[in-house]
Structure 1
Amino acid sequence: MTSPPPPSLDWFTLTMGLFGGLALFLYGLDQLSEGLKQAAGNSLKTLLARLTSNRFLGALTGAVVTGILNSSSVTSVLVVGFVTAGVMSLAQSVAVIMGANIGSTVTAQLLAFNLSAYALLPVAVGFFMLFAGKRATLRYWGMIVMGLGLVFYGMGVMSEAMKPLRSHEPFVQALARMENPLLGILGGALFTGLVQSSAATVGLAIALAGEGLLTLPAGIALALGANIGTCVTALLAALGKPAEAVRAAAVHVGFNVVGVIVWLPFIGLLSRLAVAISPESAGLGGMEKLAAEVPRQVANANTLFNVINTCLFIGFTGWFARTATKLVPSREKEEPSVTPKFLDAAALSVPAVALEQVRQELGRLGGIVRTMLVELPEALTPLSSEALPEVERRAKDAAELEIAILDFLGRIRQGNLTQDESDTHISLMTSATHLRTIAEIIGDDLVGLVRTAAEKPSLQIDRTAIRELYVKVQRSVDLAVRVVHQDAPAADTVLAMSQGVRQCADELMSRLATSFNASNPDGPTTLRLQTSFANSLRQIFSLAKRIAKSLPAPETIETTNSKPKKNTEK
């Protein structure tokens, strides 16, 4: 008697369940990551910047930060920002990227617990925290809890949708071909590149293994492919970026690809190691045994692969850095460059990082303004015809850079900001406009006055008194630029200079009034010229003082849960 044919598959229901579950999984992962970034992004950014003094500590920090943020791509964005800003060397960034690969396996370890039966409980709890919570911190934790529940629920939906495939021979044969390492790696890399998430690929492999449809070697091949496919995100983020960003992406790609190539002949060994450290399910056999044991074995193999790779290559961070530097040579620098150097759209998902990039770019804007004051004659001394156009050109550069900074700040504002981040956003925005205004005063008003003085060398100008005021104002701008980089003593110094600048300006005006000679034909012109120059300098100092007032002190910016004290001084 022949056995009845297997029932036909309902492909619509199966496809709907598979991709609907994948959508829930990815959305939950996004909510989980977003909540973690909002709750801990700023403190983890500080941790990453400080704890990279050696390669081992850098790898450990990268693993911890990525494990908490649940995203190696976010860690890569942080690293690129620090390398570009000169806070971290490229060699140090290699160790952090290696550690980030270890941290990215935390998601797979969680998924292997198969908690889909209880997933709706954290979804409900997280939803209540998110929509009923009055404090921002409680809402962020609501996002975390609900996102975690959606991840497990999406896994459960995918797993349930794939149950009918157990008896579908073509699908079983296709998965059997995945035991060919090259096919499995290629499939994992392609899928990860499409969905932009290695966690989704490993999660799908665990879901297939949970239904007894995937063997351990095939699951390992898919996980290895996911490690290559996740580099697509880094490559896309580096397009059009400075050489430092491209080098960091090249390191990420090189490390992952070399690691997979090294392990390609040893997948059997990796399988045995994963089985040795994974729990056994006694009393089960066949497909049930596979379904019970393989998910944890795949997760453990993924972790082992990244941990062992890091241990093997941690001594070669310098080699990776030198190779990336040779492959991606430095681009010719344009001085001054009006193209933003530090602003990276990939950092917009982490407001704390994006705001730090704005701070670095503001430092560049301030550097242009300081250069203008150095190049301009400090006491209406005639200059060559080439010098003044150079000052005017820098004023245009400052205006273009300010537009780019304000545009980036506007994009940051579209995300969810904490109270501290919102206050910092406002202060950075006002500082950008103040610096541009200073550049306009120098490029338009002061340059025009210097030209007038150059056209009439017979004017009797009191250059000694003007020079004294100019030097004080120039120092206040230097200090204001340091304030942008959170130098609290510099802010105090600028504010303390008010009386001295006012006294110096008053003395200058008194000397001008005393020396004014109405019978001299050039007397009125000389008086107006020097008075206008002094008034412009006082306006510049007033703007420098506003910058000093607007930025919060460093300790309040770094404290996520404290609200910066508002400065009410007018």
Structure 2
Amino acid sequence: MRLPALSNTCQWRCLAILLFLLPTFAWAASTDASSLHTLTMLMGLLGGLALFLYGMEKMSNALKNAAGSRLKSLLAKLTTNRVAGVLTGAGVTATIQSSSVTTVLLIGFISAGLMSLAQATGVIMGANIGTTITAQIVAFKITQAAYLMVAIGFLIEFTAKADKTKQYGKMLFGLGLIFTGMNVMSEAMSPLRDYQPFIDAMAKMHNPFFAILLAALFTALVQSSSATTGIVIVLAGQGFISLESGIALSMGANVGTCVTALLAAIGKSREAKQTASVHILFNIIGVLIWLPLISVLSDWSVALSPSHPDLTGVERLGAELPRQIANANTLFNVVNTLVMLPFIGGFVWLAKKIVPKTRKPAPSEQPIVSPKYLSKELLMTPDIAMDQAQLEIGRIGRRVCNMMNALPPLTSKLASQQEREAANYALEKIDELEHQVDILHGHVLFYLGRLRKEPLTQAQSDRQITLISMTDQLESIADLIEDTLVPIMDKSLHAEIDISDEMREILDNIQDKVTHALLDSVNAIRRGDNKRAKQVLHTKRALNALLDKVLAHQAERLVEHDANRLQLFSIEMEWTESLKRVYTVTKRIAKLHLREKDPQ
């Protein structure tokens, strides 16, 4: 059995933690009598933190995969209604367990032109509420059941047949690792209760500015406010920090999580950078509002949290503080959202001032064509990424349809200069569109290839293969038009042939039916329309009847005493055969679409 490898995100977090704690290693190595004891504690702390982070990532990935279609439906319900946006942001973040991921998704949607900045602002506010679910889960401290969750989750993951059931097993396994990691960290740090230098260092946490700065720096390094919150709750459970210090640390985690959004916006559109600005403004303004009111927030959280008067000292702190910090974190984000929700317009205005419009590049500076819907930030949610890839495939399909529409009907030598110019212009347009198809085809294949690096269910893997095949089939049609139909058209324009009116009508009907079938096939991809895909398949009978007419007419013409009849026969048959090949590939695309919609 091969254990799953750590993702790039998890590897980066582990590296960041090691760099952050490197000075501590140096200090530990310089200690004489207690060096082994200190190194043991550091190994426990780092090992527990690694389990915590890996558990968070595993649970988050499983939640995203299990909730794939529901996550898409939540995002599809986004409207200009700010309350709906807040609820959607809270729901999506509670599902994927990361406000940073939600914000990155928003940047991807805005970059793709699927969402306005005003819509995104409401979702960002809701995302901060959704992320408090993690703190609430962690504060339950059900460490006694952690190993049982790991065992049951592992058993379900590796024995279940259905992908959905496997994802539930991964969720439980990840949740168990979270609590196991917290337990390991807690046990590793327990000897520090009597270690005076550490107690003195924790005393600095009473300074809220220091606590906020430290938590913001750590969260920026590990790119997970949930990891910071988990460590804060572990510290609180050991009685190392006060409630006010824990609140300040959780505020710092909110500030540090903005770094992920900032990094995601680099190199993106102006709207995407404005979204990151809104995220930063909202979190920082919220911290500034509550900074002088930490004691008020502390009193509220104490009033809402259960107390344990039967306990004393560190035991009581360990029983009460984690829940109080989790409740304070929830209150902080909920009240911030309620207070600032009416001012969404102000946030949008301020973000547009911070990131103003820039000069549009001149036409000569713009690329021939570039992808509109592909965003690397969406790769972390495979279902949504494949939806975006399908939209981009629709753009390829529209260009292939335009190539067919630009293709003139097969005709004999053109008499007038105007007719020749019109035909040449159409052929040049086809060449330009084929170049655009090649560019977009490369982008889509590269995007879907990168998606393969993400953890995919069997259904997602099958869909990814289908989308790759659709992209290739459309590109094949473009090549058929450019490399086969266009040369035949060019040959007919320079040949001394005379296509009869009867044959011209049949050929025009064939070309028209193939063009409409291609359009139906592309619209089936773009709109998820099974009816149009089935219409493509039903075209086969009518098309075969027309092809039979071509053969019958050709048989009659071959006996005529026309010097050019063989050349005419060759051109007409090549034309009909090439159109038939276009329809064959078009039909294959329709079948792929129907198979994707109904895999059974």
Say whether the fold is shared (TM-score over 0.5): yes
**What pairs up with 1:349-428 in 2 under 5 angstroms?**
349-380=380-411, 382=420, 383=422, 385-428=424-467
Q: For the structure 1 residues 371 and 242, does the alpha-carbon distance in structure 2 shift closer, same or farther, using more than 3 Å as the test?
A: farther
- Tell whether the 8 Å contact from 1:81 to 1:357 is kept in structure 2 after alignment: no
The structure 1 residue matched to 2:476, chosen from 432, 437, 440, is 437
- Tell whether the 8 Å contact from 1:52 to 1:58 is kept in structure 2 after alignment: yes
**What pairs up with 1:448-459 in 2 under 5 angstroms?**
448-456=487-495
- Tell whether the 8 Å contact from 1:336 to 1:397 is kept in structure 2 after alignment: no
SS in 2 for 1:17: helix
Tell me the residue number matched to 2:141: 114
- For residues 71 and 105 of structure 2, the distance between their equivalents in structure 1, rounded to whole angstroms, comes to 10
- For residues 337 and 577 of structure 2, the distance between their equivalents in structure 1, rounded to whole angstroms, comes to 62
- Tell whether the 8 Å contact from 2:108 to 2:377 is kept in structure 1 after alignment: no
Matched, 1:133 2:133: no
Instruction: Tell me the matched-pair count.
Output: 552
- Output one character per residue of 1:197-247: Cα deviation in whole Å (capped at 9) or x when no partner: 110001111111111111122212211111122122223333344455444
Q: For the structure 1 residues 321 and 359, does the alpha-carbon distance in structure 2 shift closer, same or farther, using more than 3 Å as the test?
A: farther
Of 198-207 and 135-144, the range deviating more from structure 2: 135-144
Percent identity, aligned pairs only, is 43
The structure 2 residue matched to 1:304, chosen from 324, 327, 331, is 331
- For residues 522 and 231 of structure 1, the distance between their equivalents in structure 2, rounded to whole angstroms, comes to 74
- Tell whether the 8 Å contact from 2:108 to 2:376 is kept in structure 1 after alignment: no
Matched, 1:477 2:518: yes
Q: For the structure 1 residues 97 and 143, does the alpha-carbon distance in structure 2 shift closer, same or farther, using more than 3 Å as the test?
A: same
Q: For the structure 1 residues 554 and 445, does the alpha-carbon distance in structure 2 shift closer, same or farther, using more than 3 Å as the test?
A: closer
Tell me the residue number matched to 1:159: 186
**What pairs up with 1:95-110 in 2 under 5 angstroms?**
95-110=122-137
- Output one character per residue of 1:349-381: Cα deviation in whole Å (capped at 9) or x when no partner: 332122212211111111221222233324457
Q: For the structure 1 residues 240 and 377, does the alpha-carbon distance in structure 2 shift closer, same or farther, using more than 3 Å as the test?
A: farther
- Output one character per residue of 1:447-497: Cα deviation in whole Å (capped at 9) or x when no partner: 222332344587547554433322222211111111113111111221222
Q: For the structure 1 residues 477 and 285, does the alpha-carbon distance in structure 2 shift closer, same or farther, using more than 3 Å as the test?
A: same
Tell me the residue number matched to 2:370: 339
Matched, 1:200 2:238: no
**What pairs up with 1:3-82 in 2 under 5 angstroms?**
8=34, 10-50=37-77, 52=79, 54-82=81-109
Tell me the residue number matched to 2:258: 231
Deviation at 1:405, TM superposition (A): 2.0
- For residues 233 and 400 of structure 1, the distance between their equivalents in structure 2, rounded to whole angstroms, comes to 30
Q: For the structure 1 residues 28 and 478, does the alpha-carbon distance in structure 2 shift closer, same or farther, using more than 3 Å as the test?
A: same
Q: For the structure 1 residues 513 and 241, does the alpha-carbon distance in structure 2 shift closer, same or farther, using more than 3 Å as the test?
A: farther
Deviation at 1:11, TM superposition (A): 1.9
Q: For the structure 1 residues 450 and 315, does the alpha-carbon distance in structure 2 shift closer, same or farther, using more than 3 Å as the test?
A: farther
- For residues 313 and 514 of structure 1, the distance between their equivalents in structure 2, rounded to whole angstroms, comes to 81
Matched, 1:185 2:212: yes
- Tell whether the 8 Å contact from 2:533 to 2:594 is kept in structure 1 after alignment: no
Of 165-174 and 197-206, the range deviating more from structure 2: 165-174
SS in 1 for 2:141: coil
Deviation at 1:194, TM superposition (A): 0.8
Q: For the structure 1 residues 371 and 235, does the alpha-carbon distance in structure 2 shift closer, same or farther, using more than 3 Å as the test?
A: farther
Deviation at 1:107, TM superposition (A): 0.9
Q: For the structure 1 residues 360 and 33, does the alpha-carbon distance in structure 2 shift closer, same or farther, using more than 3 Å as the test?
A: same
Deviation at 1:29, TM superposition (A): 0.8
Deviation at 1:446, TM superposition (A): 2.0
The structure 2 residue matched to 1:147, chosen from 159, 162, 174, is 174
Q: For the structure 1 residues 402 and 18, does the alpha-carbon distance in structure 2 shift closer, same or farther, using more than 3 Å as the test?
A: same
RMSD after superposition:
2.8
TM-score norm. by structure 2 comes to 0.84
Deviation at 1:89, TM superposition (A): 3.3
Deviation at 1:298, TM superposition (A): 1.4
Deviation at 1:553, TM superposition (A): 6.9
- Structure 2 unmatched ranges of 5 or more: 1-32, 412-418
- Tell whether the 8 Å contact from 1:176 to 1:218 is kept in structure 2 after alignment: no
- Tell whether the 8 Å contact from 1:123 to 1:150 is kept in structure 2 after alignment: yes
- Tell whether the 8 Å contact from 1:488 to 1:553 is kept in structure 2 after alignment: no
The structure 2 residue matched to 1:492, chosen from 519, 525, 534, is 534
- Tell whether the 8 Å contact from 1:74 to 1:347 is kept in structure 2 after alignment: no
Matched, 1:546 2:568: no
Of 119-128 and 546-555, the range deviating more from structure 2: 546-555
Deviation at 1:26, TM superposition (A): 0.3
The structure 2 residue matched to 1:534, chosen from 568, 572, 576, is 576
SS in 2 for 1:446: helix
Tell me the residue number matched to 2:26: none
Q: For the structure 1 residues 137 and 169, does the alpha-carbon distance in structure 2 shift closer, same or farther, using more than 3 Å as the test?
A: same
Q: For the structure 1 residues 517 and 193, does the alpha-carbon distance in structure 2 shift closer, same or farther, using more than 3 Å as the test?
A: farther
Matched, 1:249 2:298: no
- Output one character per residue of 1:263-292: Cα deviation in whole Å (capped at 9) or x when no partner: 333323222222222222314455444333
SS in 2 for 1:281: coil
Q: For the structure 1 residues 75 and 378, does the alpha-carbon distance in structure 2 shift closer, same or farther, using more than 3 Å as the test?
A: farther
TM-score norm. by structure 1 comes to 0.88
- For residues 353 and 232 of structure 1, the distance between their equivalents in structure 2, rounded to whole angstroms, comes to 23
- Output one character per residue of 1:169-189: Cα deviation in whole Å (capped at 9) or x when no partner: 333333332332322222111
- Tell whether the 8 Å contact from 1:22 to 1:154 is kept in structure 2 after alignment: yes
- For residues 20 and 164 of structure 1, the distance between their equivalents in structure 2, rounded to whole angstroms, comes to 17
Tell me the residue number matched to 2:201: 174
- Structure 1 unmatched ranges of 5 or more: 1-6, 557-563, 566-570
Deviation at 1:109, TM superposition (A): 0.7
SS in 1 for 2:594: coil
Matched, 1:209 2:236: yes
- For residues 442 and 426 of structure 1, the distance between their equivalents in structure 2, rounded to whole angstroms, comes to 25
- Tell whether the 8 Å contact from 1:65 to 1:100 is kept in structure 2 after alignment: yes
- For residues 349 and 585 of structure 2, the distance between their equivalents in structure 1, rounded to whole angstroms, comes to 44
- For residues 377 and 528 of structure 1, the distance between their equivalents in structure 2, rounded to whole angstroms, comes to 18
- For residues 399 and 210 of structure 2, the distance between their equivalents in structure 1, rounded to whole angstroms, comes to 54
**Amino acid aligned to 2:450:** R
- For residues 107 and 388 of structure 1, the distance between their equivalents in structure 2, rounded to whole angstroms, comes to 59
- Tell whether the 8 Å contact from 1:129 to 1:139 is kept in structure 2 after alignment: yes
